[in-house]
Amino acid sequence: MSLTIPDEIIQSTRMTIPELIQEIAVMLFQKEKLTLGQASRLADMSQFQFQHLLSAR
Protein backbone atom coordinates (compact mmCIF):
# COMPACT_ATOMS: atom_id res chain seq x y z
CA MET A 1 0.00 0.00 0.00
CA SER A 2 1.23 3.48 -0.70
CA LEU A 3 0.30 6.80 0.79
CA THR A 4 0.28 9.97 -1.27
CA ILE A 5 1.01 13.22 0.51
CA PRO A 6 0.46 16.31 -1.60
CA ASP A 7 3.57 18.37 -2.30
CA GLU A 8 1.98 21.44 -0.70
CA ILE A 9 1.66 19.56 2.60
CA ILE A 10 5.26 18.38 2.48
CA GLN A 11 6.44 21.89 1.63
CA SER A 12 4.40 23.43 4.45
CA THR A 13 6.07 21.17 7.02
CA ARG A 14 9.54 22.28 5.83
CA MET A 15 10.67 18.69 6.34
CA THR A 16 12.24 16.18 4.03
CA ILE A 17 10.25 13.09 3.20
CA PRO A 18 12.47 10.89 5.44
CA GLU A 19 12.00 13.37 8.33
CA LEU A 20 8.24 13.33 7.83
CA ILE A 21 8.17 9.54 7.80
CA GLN A 22 10.25 9.47 11.00
CA GLU A 23 7.76 11.84 12.65
CA ILE A 24 4.89 9.57 11.65
CA ALA A 25 6.77 6.53 12.99
CA VAL A 26 7.48 8.26 16.31
CA MET A 27 3.87 9.36 16.70
CA LEU A 28 2.49 5.90 15.94
CA PHE A 29 4.97 4.31 18.34
CA GLN A 30 4.08 6.79 21.10
CA LYS A 31 0.37 6.10 20.55
CA GLU A 32 1.19 2.38 20.84
CA LYS A 33 -0.09 1.69 17.34
CA LEU A 34 3.27 0.27 16.22
CA THR A 35 5.85 -1.83 18.02
CA LEU A 36 9.44 -0.63 18.27
CA GLY A 37 10.41 -2.96 15.42
CA GLN A 38 7.57 -1.80 13.18
CA ALA A 39 8.23 1.88 13.87
CA SER A 40 11.96 1.52 13.25
CA ARG A 41 11.28 -0.25 9.94
CA LEU A 42 8.84 2.49 8.90
CA ALA A 43 11.47 5.11 9.78
CA ASP A 44 14.06 3.06 7.82
CA MET A 45 16.31 2.90 10.88
CA SER A 46 17.76 0.18 13.05
CA GLN A 47 15.99 -0.32 16.38
CA PHE A 48 19.04 1.17 18.10
CA GLN A 49 18.93 4.28 15.89
CA PHE A 50 15.19 4.65 16.45
CA GLN A 51 15.62 4.34 20.22
CA HIS A 52 18.30 7.04 20.02
CA LEU A 53 15.87 9.25 18.09
CA LEU A 54 13.24 8.70 20.78
CA SER A 55 15.66 9.45 23.63
CA ALA A 56 16.79 12.65 21.92
CA ARG A 57 13.28 13.97 22.29
CA 1 centroid distance within chain:
16
Distances (CA, A) of 19 to 13, 15, 22: 10, 6, 5
Residue 2 burial (CB count, 10 A)? 3
Q: What is the pLDDT of residues 14-28, one digit of tens each?
A: 999 999 999 999 999
- Is 90 exceeded by the pLDDT of residue 57? no
Mean of the pLDDT values across residues 31-44?
98
Distance between CA 2 and CA 23 in Å, rounded? 17
Distance between CA 1 and CA 42 in Å, rounded? 13
